[in-house]
C-alpha cells in the first residue's frame, strides 16, 4: 500500500510583479480623474447676469387722472430667438396731450429754474420758448460801490507813487521812510525848523541834542542837508522816525499835541542869514507833500515852528521859503 504524505506548503503560481503594480495604479487614476471632473462640473456656481433696469418718465396725463408710470421688469424680456440682442423696449399707452396742473412741478427743480415753469415744451399746444408764463432769471449785477471807491482812490494812489519816485533818489533810507513800523499814535502835524548852524547834518544834531538837551538823540524826524556834512538836498531819516517815537522839537507849542503828534523836519543852515539851497527846497517840498498825503494831514496843521509855537521864536529864520515849500502862506492853527 502506498502511503500519502500531505505537505504543509502549497506552491501556487504568482502573477507577474509588473501586473500587480500597474493595474491598481491605473484603476486609482481613473477613479480620481473621473470623480474630480464630475465634482467640478456639478459644484461650480452659475450666476445669471440680469439686464439693467430701464426707467422711463411718466407721460403727461389729465388733471383728473393719476399719473401711471410705465413699469418694466428688471429681468430678461421675452423676445423671439432672432431678437435676443435688441435692448428691452417699453411703451406707454397713447395719451392726449394736455397741460398739467399749475401746482405740479418736476421733482428736484424749483419753478424759477429755466425750463421748469410747469409746462412741457411741445405738449401744451404752443411753440417751445413762446410760453408767456415762463419766469426769466434776472441778470447778475455787480455793485457799483466797490468800483466807485476804487475810482476815488486811484488818483490818490497815483499821486503817492509819484511823490515816492521823487523822494527815492534823495532819501538815505527809503524803506524807513515809506514803510516804518506801526505807530501807537496818529500823526497830525508837520513842523518845519532850521538848525541855525551854517554847517552840519544828522550826526551833528543828534550829538548836540543828547549833550545839550538831554534827549534820546535827535529831536527831529528828518534832517535835510545843505552839502556840508551830508549831500545837498539829501533827506536823512532820523532814528526817532524809524522807531515812530514822538518828537522833541516843539515843546513851546500852542497845544501839547504838536510836539507829541507832530513830524519834525529840520533844514540844515542858518536861515536868518541865508536862504536854503534849491535842492533843500525841492526835497522839503516833496517830503511835506508825501507826508500830508500819506497821513491825511490837512494844510491848516502844517507850518513853521514860529507859527505853531506858543511864544515868539526866531526858528526857522526870516529867509525860510514858506511859499516855495508849502505852496501857500502858512495858516496853521490860525
Q: What is the pLDDT of residues 56-81, one digit of tens each?
A: 666 565 555 555 454 444 444 454 44
Q: Where are the domains of the chain?
A: 157-326
Q: What CATH number is given for 157-326 in this structure?
A: 3.40.80.10
Apex CA 102: angle with CA 97 and CA 106, to 5°? 80
Residue 227 pLDDT grade (very low, low, confident, very high; cuts 50, 70, 90):
very high
Inform me whether the pLDDT recorded for 40 exceeds 90.
no
Q: Which residue has the higher pLDDT, 169 or 144?
A: 169
Sign of CA dihedral 235, 240, 245, 251: negative
User: What distance in Å separates the CA atoms of residue 101 and residue 123, rounded to the nearest whole number?
Assistant: 13
Give the pLDDT score at 14: 60
Higher pLDDT, 193 or 51: 193
User: d(Cα 236, Cα 266) in Å, to the nearest integer?
Assistant: 10
Q: Contact 203/229 with Cβ under 8 angstroms?
A: yes
pLDDT for res 16:
66
> Which one has a higher pLDDT value, 212 or 161?
161
Nearest to 191 by CA among 264, 291, 288: 264
Is this model's pTM higher than 0.85 or not?
no
Return the pLDDT at 257.
Answer: 83
pLDDT grade for 297, boundaries at 50, 70 and 90: very high
- DSSP H helices, the chain, are 17-43, 144-167, 174-178, 202-208, 239-242, 257-261, 278-295, 305-308, 322-326
pLDDT score recorded for residue 13: 60
CB distance 265 to 221 below 8 Å? yes
Predicted confidence at residue 293, as pLDDT, reads: 93
Calculate the alpha carbon distances from 170 to 167, 200, 235, 237 in Å: 5, 17, 6, 11
The 10 Å Cβ neighbour count of residue 258 is 27
Residue 177 has pLDDT above 50, yes or no: yes
For 311, other C-beta atoms within 10 Å of its C-beta total 8
Tell me the mean pLDDT in the region 90-94.
53
> And the C-alpha cell for 205?
544834531
Sorting pLDDT into bands at 50, 70 and 90, what band is 93?
low
Of 9 and 153, the structure prediction assigns the larger pLDDT to 153
Q: What is the mean pLDDT of the chain?
A: 72
Grid coordinates belonging to 189: 502835524
Strands 262-267 and 235-237: what pairing? unpaired
Q: How do strand 222-224 and strand 235-237 relate by DSSP bridges? A: antiparallel
Q: Do 244 and 183 touch, CB atoms closer than 8 A? A: yes
Position 253 scores a pLDDT of 72
CB-based contacts of 313: which residues, under 8 Å, 6+ apart? 252, 305, 306
Report whether the peptide linkage leading into residue 222 is cis, meaning its omega lies within 30 degrees of zero.
Answer: no
Of 215 and 116, which is predicted with more confidence?
215
pLDDT score for 200: 92
% of the chain with per-residue pLDDT over 70: 55
Instruction: Using pLDDT thresholds of 50, 70 and 90, give the confidence band for residue 327.
Output: confident
Helices then strands, each counted (H, E), the chain: 9, 5
pLDDT of residue 89: 52
pLDDT at 232: 95
Q: What is the pLDDT of residue 105?
A: 46
Residue 84 in this model has a pLDDT that exceeds 50: no
- Whole-number pLDDT of residue 260: 84
pLDDT of 315 above 60: yes
With a cut of 70, say whether residue 219 has pLDDT above it: yes
**Residue 95: CA count within 13 A, CB half-sphere:** 20
Confidence of residue 123 (pLDDT cuts 50, 70, 90): very low
Q: What is the mean pLDDT of residues 86-92?
A: 52
- Cβ atoms 271, 193 nearer than 8 A: no
CA distance 194 to 265: 8
User: Would you state the pLDDT for residue 264?
Assistant: 92
**Separation between Cα atoms, residue 163 and residue 185, nearest integer Å:** 24
Q: What is the DSSP letter of 119?
A: -
Amino acid at each position: 500500500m502506498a502511503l500519502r504524505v500531505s505537505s504543509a506548503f502549497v506552491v501556487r503560481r504568482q502573477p507577474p510583479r509588473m501586473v500587480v503594480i500597474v493595474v491598481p495604479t491605473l484603476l486609482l487614476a481613473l477613479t480620481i480623474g473621473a470623480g474630480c471632473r464630475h465634482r467640478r462640473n456639478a459644484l461650480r456656481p452659475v450666476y445669471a447676469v440680469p439686464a439693467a433696469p430701464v426707467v422711463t418718465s411718466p407721460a403727461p396725463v389729465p388733471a383728473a387722472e393719476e399719473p401711471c408710470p410705465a413699469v418694466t421688469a428688471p429681468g430678461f424680456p421675452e423676445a423671439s430667438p432672432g431678437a435676443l440682442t435688441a435692448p428691452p423696449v417699453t411703451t406707454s399707452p397713447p395719451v392726449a396731450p394736455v397741460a398739467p396742473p399749475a401746482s405740479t412741478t418736476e421733482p428736484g427743480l424749483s419753478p424759477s429754474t429755466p425750463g421748469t415753469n410747469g409746462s412741457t415744451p411741445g405738449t401744451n399746444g404752443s411753440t417751445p420758448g413762446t410760453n408767456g408764463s415762463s419766469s426769466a432769471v434776472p441778470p447778475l449785477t455787480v455793485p457799483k460801490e466797490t468800483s466807485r471807491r476804487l475810482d476815488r482812490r486811484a488818483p490818490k494812489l497815483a499821486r503817492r507813487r509819484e511823490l515816492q519816485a521823487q523822494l527815492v533818489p534823495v532819501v538815505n533810507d527809503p524803506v524807513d521812510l515809506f514803510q516804518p513800523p506801526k505807530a501807537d499814535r496818529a500823526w497830525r502835524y508837520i513842523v518845519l525848523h532850521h538848525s541855525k548852524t551854517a554847517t552840519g547834518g544828522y550826526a551833528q544834531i543828534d550829538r548836540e541834542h543828547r549833550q545839550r538837551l538831554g534827549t534820546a538823540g535827535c529831536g527831529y524826524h528828518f534832517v535835510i542837508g545843505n552839502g556840508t556834512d551830508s549831500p545837498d538836498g539829501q533827506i536823512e531819516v532820523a532814528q526817532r522816525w524809524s522807531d515812530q517815537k514822538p518828537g522833541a522839537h516843539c515843546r513851546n507849542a500852542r497845544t501839547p499835541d504838536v510836539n507829541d503828534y507832530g513830524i519834525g523836519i529840520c533844514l540844515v543852515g542858518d536861515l536868518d542869514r541865508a536862504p536854503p539851497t534849491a535842492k533843500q527846497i525841492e526835497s522839503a517840498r516833496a517830503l511835506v507833500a508825501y507826508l500830508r498825503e500819506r497821513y491825511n494831514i490837512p494844510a491848516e496843521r502844517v507850518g513853521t515852528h514860529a507859527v505853531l509855537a506858543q511864544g515868539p521864536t526866531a526858528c526857522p529864520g526870516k529867509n525860510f521859503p514858506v511859499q516855495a515849500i508849502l505852496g501857500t502862506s502858512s495858516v496853521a492853527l490860525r
